[in-house]
Structure 1
Amino acid sequence: MGTFYLTEPYCFVRKESERLKVYKGKNCLKEIRVKDYARFFINEDSTLSTGALSLLAEKGIDVVYFSGSEVVGRFIGKENKNVRLRIAQVEVHLDEEKSLAIARNFVLAKIKNTRTIVQRFARRKKLDLSKTDLALKQLMKKCIQVKDIDSLRGMEGRAARVYFETFPQFIESSGFVFTGRSRRPAKDEVNALLNYGYALLRAELTGALSAAGLDPYIGFLHRERYGRESLSLDLMEEFRCVLVDNLITRIVNKKIIKPSDFIRDQGGFRLKDHARKRFLLEFDQRRIDKVKHEFLGRQMSYREILHKQAILLAKYIKGEMEDYYPFLIK
């Protein structure tokens, strides 16, 4: 099942039988079969009727409200009621050795996947990225040796800096400038795309973790902070460059998104509404692309892989697997 995106502002969604209808004024823009979707991403300026929310809750479908590239609210459908799994998750979170083991796998997977992406670009664009590749390789070795979470987070941060120092070489389209990673506000167009892509990925993983019975707010690499989905951020690490960064370099280099598709607002850049719709279409297409899951040994969509990784993590926490096996690309 997919994700429904309502990016059109000032819409009203109401229930009619087992379907939802999207209205703008008196005009019906779309009729939706609820059973086709696992979650709804909706512009904060749009409204759902009580009947629509009740139907979504009954079907176990989450509603995520976005303001620009930021998640501003979430309506959760039927939650997984696996209390024993939640207790086990807290116990692992409080166990420094077990937390470190899981967090190490997240970081190693992130760096391994980043190295693979760098190597691909080096071959495809005939770039000499050997220094970047070597630096990432050395950081992987150091990650294996660290004895605490803080040191591991330091290695992850260094790997991200090494990678993003190389990232401008992946951008071919004229008019786009990337001078380093910035979050809020996004200081350039590329960062605006990264921020939006990561927000979408985070929301997807929050839904996947909740469906697997895990608490998205109790992490291992990212420790607890009020209102932050720490476990979603943990699981994001192995997917950032694979799903989001790769997508952004493609749509920028193919001029699917152009510098004119952005506006500067409150000191930062953000996508115009029409360009956001285009980005969502590309993101959704990327999620249904299929790739081989090496551990599970079969082809599946990235959307399915996100859910499988949440399930694998839950199985490890319950003691049903000897280790957590992250998603790795080849």
Structure 2
Amino acid sequence: MIKRTLHFSNPAYLSLQQDQLVIDLPHLKILGEKESKKKVPIEDIGIILLDHQQITITHGCIAALLDNNAALITCNSGHLPTGMMLPIDGHDIQSERFRHQINASQPLKKQLWQQTTQAKILNQAAILSDRGIPCENMVHWAKSVKSGDPDNYEGRAAAYYWKNVFPKKIEFFRGREGDPPNNLLNYGYAILRAIVARGLVCSGLLPTLGIHHRNKYNAYCLADDIMEPYRPYVDQIVLGIIDRGENFLELGTSIKMQLLGIATVDVQFERGTSPLMVGLQSTTSSLARCYEGITRKINYPLMKNFDTRRPFNYNFSSEIQNFDTEDIEVQDKDIGEEKLPF
């Protein structure tokens, strides 16, 4: 079942009654609406976005949402996500999975980052391919990624991707405080990050301990790692908004609703298609199995099969992985990260 994403952009009072989220909307009373209250089963909710300064939510409601592995996101006065609340206990054998995660070897982490980087570059290449932009170099870079990506193919691919993916008239430059449509990307990535963090918790993993990101000021390093191959799905939504000629200079309600739809976007795995929120759970579960030593492959979706000789469900990722078990020297200092919000 696909969990629901609820977005509140008006004053509201949220409470709990018989395992139901009770939504009281006072502005509807003012407008003379008879039905100012709505109810949603707590178990149906995956993410709640609180996007107004006059929203009140009861403690009982928060506790019930967290008990059902929902994620709560709060926004500032500028309507940008600034905080997230996740369950502490999200899995039956959480302590055991924590232990496996903490004890993961450096070679394993490097191999997992190799797979993550390959999947991200291939999905970026798929976006370019669909827009008629040359991407053969991207596919080559994906195949060339070694364990730990010591040659920084991720950075090379990102530079080429952002230079070409948007229409030339926009003169786009990716940056945290950059001009639109950076605002749309930031918002979409924030929602995606929450979905990934929730999936990690549900799989009994610590979102803080990353396989590559390890900034001491970042509480969601692993979420930032695992969301990388999923970012192009947000990019795809943003590109659609621009292509349709919608006003992307401001984050209007219509655009927010489209970006919130990232949770239900179809993603393609080897064994079929599923909504992103469901597919993400498959990714995080496979990561947990990697930590446990059951497998060494993360289950990431691919947007396009670049080998036309193979069916789409062919295990293309296994063909491009070049596992290098040699333990490359790791510096103790924090990895320098892009100065982006998520």
Alpha-carbon distance in structure 2 between the residues aligned to 1:178 and 1:75: 38
Q: Is 1:310 paired with 2:284? A: yes
Partner of residue 99 from structure 2, selected from 87, 90, 98: 87
Number of aligned residue pairs: give it: 292
- Tell me the residue number matched to 2:157: 159
The one-letter amino acid of 2:51's match is N
Question: Where does 1:69-88 land on structure 2 (aligned, <5 Å)?
Answer: 69-76=80-87, 78-80=89-91, 81-88=93-100
Which residue of structure 1 aligns with residue 138 of structure 2? Answer: 136
Q: Are 1:56 and 1:77, in contact at CA under 8 Å, matched by a contact in 2?
A: no
Letter in 1 for 2:263: R
Give the equivalent residue in structure 1 for 2:61: 52
**Residue 109 of structure 1 contacts residue 328 of structure 1 at CA under 8 Å; is this kept in 2?**
yes
SS of residue matched to 2:112: helix
1:290 to 260, 266, 271: 266
Of 228, 232, 235, 2:223 maps to 232
Q: TM-score under structure 1 normalisation? A: 0.80
Check 1:206–1:291 CA distance in 2 against 1; reply closer, same or farther (3 A cut).
closer
Secondary structure at the aligned position of 1:72 is classed as: strand
Q: How does 1:1-330 map to 2 (within 5 A)?
A: 1-25=2-26, 27=29, 28-43=36-51, 45=53, 46-67=55-76, 68-76=79-87, 78-80=89-91, 81-92=93-104, 95-122=105-132, 129-130=133-134, 133-144=135-146, 148=148, 151=150, 154-169=152-167, 177-183=170-176, 185=177, 187-241=178-232, 243-255=233-245, 257-259=246-248, 262=250, 271=251, 275=252, 277-294=253-270, 297-330=271-304
Q: In 2 relative to 1, CA 179–61 (structure 1 residues): closer, same or farther, beyond 3 Å?
A: closer
Taking a change above 3 Å as real, the CA distance of residues 74 and 286 of structure 1, as seen in their structure-2 partners, is closer
Post-superposition Cα deviations, 1:206-229, rounded to whole Å, max 9, x if no partner, equal: 000110111111111212422331
Aligned partner of residue 181 in structure 1, secondary structure:
coil
- Give the secondary-structure state (helix, strand or coil) at the position aligned to 1:32: strand
SS at match of 1:6: strand
Cα 1:79–1:148 shift into 2, 3 Å? closer
Calculate the aligned-residue CA RMSD, in Å.
Answer: 2.3
Offset, 1:286: 4.4
Asked if 2 retains the 8 angstrom alpha-carbon contact of 1:291 and 1:302, the reply is: yes
Q: How much does 1:318 deviate?
A: 0.9
The verdict on how the C-alpha distance between 1:77 and 1:281 changes in structure 2, with shifts beyond 3 A counting, is: farther
Q: Give percent identity, aligned residues only.
A: 20
Letter in 1 for 2:264: I
Structure 2, unaligned runs of 5 or more:
30-35, 305-342
Q: 1:18, 1:42 → 2: CA distance?
A: 20
CA drift at 1:252: 1.9
Report deviation, 1:246.
0.5
Q: Is the 8 A contact 1:205 1:236 kept in 2?
A: yes
Question: TM-score normalized by structure 2?
Answer: 0.77
Which secondary structure state, in structure 1, belongs to the residue aligned with residue 69 of structure 2? Answer: coil
Give the 3 Å change call, closer, same or farther, for CA 75–329 of structure 1 in structure 2. Answer: closer
Residue type at the aligned position of 2:223: S
Q: How far did 1:76 drift?
A: 2.6
Is the CA contact (8 Å cut-off) linking 1:113 and 1:329 kept in structure 2?
A: yes
Residue pair 1:64, 1:71 contacting (<8 A) in 2 also: yes
Q: Provide closer, same or farther for how the CA distance between residues 75 and 219 of structure 1 changes in structure 2, counting only shifts above 3 A.
A: closer
Tell me which protein shows more helix as a share of its residues.
1
Question: 1:7 Cα shift?
Answer: 2.8
Q: Give the whole-Å Cα distance in 2 for the aligned partners of 1:99 and 1:76.
A: 25
